[in-house]
Structure 1
Amino acid sequence: MEEEEEEVTDLKLQLFHNTVREHIIFLLLIILLYFSSYVIVSRFRRRDRDDLYSNDEDEVLVYRISFWLCTFTLAVAEGAAMLLPVSIASNEVLLLYPNSYYVKWLNSSLIQGLWNHVFLFSNLSLFIFLPFVYLFSESTGFVGHKKGILARVYETFIVFVLMAIIVLVLTAVLSAVFGIEKFQFFWFLNGI
């Protein structure tokens, strides 16, 4: 009885350590990719424009937020580009040294987690962050409201939601026109 409890405890402890190790590796990887993206974006951004560093604090903050989100998106793109070569190299290392203590951390769970995180952040970057950055940098706030970052965020959010609704309705119309019944994109609307 005690051996079974000890074995279950050891298995849970091993699973916990594997999860913590994977999250630490993911964090270190995204920090490395973000730093390299920051260097690349800083190298190629224009420095000759005075309006980027105007006296308006809101404009400077909007520019910084846009810069950070674009840098994060480039880091995700770098990760997506390097994912297949890293997967192939890790598989080869595991085949060459299957019992090595130093490559034990390089397992299929880590690679699968990398793929999952890259796909998640790629979709977030493509459909959420980049449109938000564009709309946020172009927004000025609603007429009649106080100026500031919050007014710009509200305007960006409203325009973003309106665009999403237009795309959703356009997709529904096109799928109805072309008679795509097997494409059940609007399954969530069936409950309404």
Structure 2
Amino acid sequence: MNGQRVGYVRVSSFEQNAERQLDGVVLDRTFTDWASGKDTKRPQLDAMMTFVRSGDTIVVHSMDRLARNLDDLRHVVQALTQRGVRIEFSKECLTFTGEDSPMANLMLSVMGAFTEFERALIRERQREGIALAQQRGAYRGRKPALSDAQVADLRRRVDAGERKAQIAREFGVSRETLYQYLRSTR
């Protein structure tokens, strides 16, 4: 008996079009994460890993949608194929079954390494672009999470002894963001 064809889609933001990745591919079920590839906690990836069974086929648009580094890619592919799950990468035209030849394993490693390298180049160009924009005065960075009045209230409440975790929740920021505001000049 043939298993199910299961799609996995990952987009980095809600503005991106998730449907285009596996457009036209017939699937029984699709799992979609809206998360950066660097995030290790992707709920839909975890749900898909739990859902699939031996005989199923996972279809992913490209390797970089499944993992952003070679170690994670190898780990996910190996974990799935050891359970009898087949993985197809549409863009790279590669399929892994667990009974792969040494050449298939080499292709996984080479293509995964290229994916990781490409991501590193993108980050490097992004840093260079931000630095140039800052020199021109065109880049101001991210909008502050809290207004000056909120920061003053936050500091007053911390100085009064309130729990920082509770204050952070009320302001809708992480504790690290709260600590950054506390470390900044008063």
Fold-level similarity (TM above 0.5): no
Q: Would you tell me which structure has more helix in proportion to its own residues?
A: 1
TM-score by length of 1: 0.27
Larger Rg: 1
Higher relative contact order (CA 8 A, sep 6+): 1
